[in-house]
Amino acid sequence: MSETKSRKRFSRDRYFPEHIIRNIIYQVLQGLAYMHKNGFFHRDMKPENIMCNGTELVKIADFGLAREIRSRPPYTDYVSTRWYRAPEILLRSTSYNSPIDIWALGCIMAELYMLRPLFPGTSELDQLFKIITILGTPNKEDWPEGYQLAAAMNFKFQQTVPTPLATVVNSVSDEGQKLMADMMQWNPEKRPNALSSLKYKYFLVGQKLGAPVVSQPSTSNRKTSAGSTLSDSRVVLGKAKLKPTATEVKTFDGDMQPERNINRNLPICK
C-alpha cells in the first residue's frame, strides 16, 4: 500500500472515536514490541512520528535517535520532544531504556483523546511540574532512583495529590485510563512493556485491530501481517511533519503559554 501525502484534519471540537484511537495505539504497540524485541528503542516517540494511511494502517517513522537496548550507557539526556519526555530523562538519567517509548506513547494516547498535549511544559522544570500536577508526587519508596536523580540536580518534588485522568482526558473508558496510567508510571521499571500492553482489557473488546492484510506480488513469498507491515523499516523510514499553530492556550497551572508547537488537529490520512 502506497503512503499518501494528502491529509484530512479533525477540527478542535471533533474528537476521535475511541475505536479509532484503540486501533492506532494497538498498531504502534505492535511496532514497538517488534522493535524492542529486536534490540532497539526509538527515543523520539511523538505524534509527528506516527504516520497514518487512512485510519487503518499506522506506521512508526524517524529512527534517527534510535539506540540499541543493550548498548552501554551513558546515553545523552537530550532526547525526545519535551512534551513526551519521560521523567527519568527530565531528571538527567543516563541509563534509561525502552520504557521511555512506553511513557511517550501514554502521552500520545492522551493527546489523541484531548487533541492537545497532556503535559505542554515550556522548559524541563515546567515539564516536571506539569507531570506532577496530573500524576501527583511520586512515592519515594516506589521510585527511590528518581529521588536520587532529583537530589543530584537540586530538584525538590512538590507535594501534590494526583488528578484523576477521567477529569483531564476526554471520553476515555476505564480500560483506557488504566492503560494510560500504567504507561505513565513514574518508575520506568513499573511500566508495562509493549507486548504486555497489548494484552490489556482496553484491547479486548471484540474489535478487529491491526493493519489490514495487503496482497503482495505473486513473485514474493512474504506474507503481510499487522506486525510485519508496521515494523518493516523499509516502509516506516521518513518523517511526517505537522505545521504548528501559534495561538495561545491555557495550561493546567493557569498560565497563558504560546501554543507554538501544539498540534490542534491530529492528522487522519485518506
User: Would you say residue 6 has pLDDT above 70?
Assistant: no
Amino acid at 4: T
**In the chain, what are the domains?**
7-122+165-269 (1.10.510.10)
Q: What's the first-to-final CA gap in the chain, in angstroms?
A: 12
| Residue where the block lists cell 497514518 | 52
Q: Which ranges of 97-173 would DSSP assign to H, the alpha helix?
A: 99-114, 124-135, 144-152
Residue 202 φ then ψ, to 5°: -55, -35
Q: In the numeric block, which cell numbers belong to residue 163?
A: 488528578
Longest CA pairwise span in the chain (Å): 63
Most confident of 11-15, 63-67, 127-131, 222-226: 127-131
Q: How far from 163 is each of 139, 149, 182, CA to CA, in Å?
A: 15, 24, 15
Active site residues: 44
Q: How far apart are CA 227 and CA 34, in angstroms?
A: 7
pLDDT tens per residue, range 167-197: 999 899 999 999 999 999 999 999 999 999 9
Min mean pLDDT across 8-17, 74-83, 153-162, 218-227 is at 218-227
DSSP 250: E
User: What global pTM score does this model have?
Assistant: 0.73
Higher pLDDT, 15 or 6: 15
Provide long-range contacts, Cβ within 8 A and 24+ apart, for 207-211: 207/19, 207/22, 207/23, 209/22, 209/23, 209/26, 209/27, 210/23, 210/26, 210/27, 210/30, 211/27, 211/56, 211/57, 211/58
Is residue 51 within 8 A of residue 213, CB to CB? The reply is no
Q: What is the mean pLDDT of residues 233-253?
A: 38
Name 50's bridge partners. 60
The backbone region for 191, taken as left when phi is positive above 0, alpha when psi lies in -120 to 50, beta otherwise, is: beta
Higher pLDDT, 227 or 113: 113
pLDDT at position 162:
96
pLDDT at position 226:
44
Q: What is the mean pLDDT of the chain?
A: 78
pLDDT at position 138:
97
